[in-house]
Structure 1
Amino acid sequence: MQITRKLLGSLIFPDWTDTVVSLQQPGRSRLNSVLPKMMFQTVIYSIWREQNSRRHGGIWITTAKISRNINKQVRNSISSLCYDCDHPSNELMRRWFEIN
């Protein structure tokens, strides 16, 4: 929740539809737009994966471990991006470490 608050500020809503709408709002820098979307996608996937595992008799994972996995997945996603040296998205990893 702290990471989400640092990324979205007061734009956190209990209704996921409102959260998605807030992620699509114009006016944010590219850096502050891409990172929340990347994190949101990773969280959704992680929740789905855990739910699917539980439904099919897999081992339950603690929320702390899910959070660590989300952190690692976001870092891996950022690391996999290949940009020129002066591309603004090169700052994604630095920004991720700032909020973590």
Structure 2
Amino acid sequence: MGIRLTATVSSALQRRRRNHRSEIFNIIEAVMEQQRSNLTNTADYSIWKSSSDTYKSVFTTKNTWNLLHQEGTTVEWCKGLFKHHTPKFAFFTWLALHNRLSTGDRMLQWNAGVSSACIFCNQFETRDHIFFSCTYSAAVWSQLMRGLLRTRYTTIWTEVLELTLDNSLGMITTFLTRYVFQITIHILWRERNDRRHGATPISVQALVKMLDRQIRNKCLSFRQLGDFTYAASLSDWFATR
């Protein structure tokens, strides 16, 4: 077409229109001719595609992401990834919900010779077992959540997940259930991996104490953030201990 690779749009439009043997080049020339007729003396500006037919002057990551990726079906458990979550706990929970952790049952699919025994109780390790049917993890979960959930307390994965989605528990209880759920599975998995690599085991009481301190720190942070909506979470947590 006679346009240099390093040419600017302005310099390309200033060149004389040409006729080409290739029809696609003639089509491009016609579009460029149309653009020449629309030229004004105003300064150039950038616009960003916001939707299929809408352009805006402001860039948003969300709109760009939606345009580049096909939107999937909204899953019910997305409600459990809530405001004031801790990113690393939320991401780990997302992996667990998709059953993408390297539990014993999944490792057997990759290597038939690998040990599939739970490092805590020596039973067959699955996601649903380690969270929270295993005797060790069940003891940790019980000390943390039995006082909060009372008659609705459970160690069955699907039922625990339902509780994190149940807004009828009340705003503060729902928040605490979701946060304790996420931080507990993260810490349990870290303890599981540490033991598999030869680290000294941490007792149930020590692990519960560690989790309790982190949960209290999270509750205390609301006052520093100026969010008094969840300020009562600390007193409610104290009441269950």
Calculate the TM-score normalised by the size of structure 1: 0.85
Gap runs ≥5 in structure 1: none
Q: Which residue in 2 is equivalent to 1:24? A: 165
TM-align CA RMSD:
1.6
Provide the C-alpha distance between the structure 1 equivalents of 2:226 and 2:177, rounded to a whole number of angstroms. Answer: 19
Q: Deviations over 1:13-56 (max 9, x none)?
A: 23211111122113222111101111111211111111010011
Q: Which residue in 1 is equivalent to 2:190? A: 49
Which secondary structure does the structure 1 equivalent of 2:208 belong to?
Answer: helix
Q: Which residue in 1 is equivalent to 2:226? A: 83
Which secondary structure does the structure 2 equivalent of 1:43 belong to?
Answer: helix
Percent of residue pairs identical: 27
Q: Which moved more, 1:24-33 or 1:44-53?
A: 24-33
Instruction: Note closer, same or farther for the CA distance 1:67–1:2 as it changes in structure 2 (3 Å cut).
Output: closer
Which secondary structure does the structure 2 equivalent of 1:71 belong to?
Answer: helix
Instruction: Note closer, same or farther for the CA distance 1:3–1:63 as it changes in structure 2 (3 Å cut).
Output: closer
Q: Which residue in 2 is equivalent to 1:93? A: 234
Which secondary structure does the structure 1 equivalent of 2:151 belong to?
Answer: coil
Provide the C-alpha distance between the structure 2 equivalents of 1:50 and 1:20, rounded to a whole number of angstroms. Answer: 22
Residue 4 (str. 1) matches residue 145 (str. 2)? yes
Residue 63 (str. 1) matches residue 204 (str. 2)? yes
Gap runs ≥5 in structure 2: 1-141
2:175 aligns with one of 30, 34, 40: 34
Provide the C-alpha distance between the structure 1 equivalents of 2:183 and 2:144, rounded to a whole number of angstroms. Answer: 13
Contact 1:83 1:89 in 2 (8 A): no
Provide the C-alpha distance between the structure 1 equivalents of 2:200 and 2:212, rounded to a whole number of angstroms. Answer: 20
Number of positions where the alignment pairs a residue of Structure 1 with one of Structure 2: 98
